[in-house]
Amino acid sequence: MIRLGLTLWLWLAIAIVVVVNDTIGDTVIVERLSPMAVEWYKALVPLPYVVMMAVIHARRTKGPQWFEAALMAAILWPTTTVVADYFYEHLTFGQEAIGFVDRFAFWWGAPYPLLVIGLCVAPLIAGRAMRTRP
């Protein structure tokens, strides 16, 4: 069963965790670690929480339309979380869009794409694992 409200509430929880984690990384952790280590912290710490939200989503949407529900979350969560993260960076540090896009530069070792990929893949994997046969 597709539950848009559930998907939006779980996304809001993910977005809050990502923004709070970025705030902690940019204020407290940055004083103790190198900038690259902070980027890894900001990308990897939210991933277990994303998996937990994906499992909650999969348990609540299992049934004959599990794939549609998982696909909706897999499209909604990464795009809107990236937008929320951009607004955090823009409002806090005045960072422009081109500076934010540098976070996706995986060729120099930027870990941010791992978070985006996790946001996209986690609902699909969890939905597949929790699906029920018709």
CA distance 127 to 65: 10
pLDDT at 133: 58
pLDDT lower than 70: segments of the chain: 132-134
Q: What's the total number of domains in the chain?
A: 1
pLDDT at 124: 96
Treating both helix axes as pointing N-terminal to C-terminal, what angle do 4-27 and 66-93 enclose, rounded to 10 degrees? 30
pLDDT at 134: 54
Q: What is the pTM of this model?
A: 0.91
Contact 19, 88 (CB under 8 A): yes
pLDDT at 2: 84
Which residues constitute the domain of residue 60?
A: 4-130
Contact 10, 127 (CB under 8 A): no
Among the listed residues 69, 81, 79, 59, the one whose alpha carbon sits nearest the alpha carbon of residue 14: 81
pLDDT at 30: 92
pLDDT at 44: 96
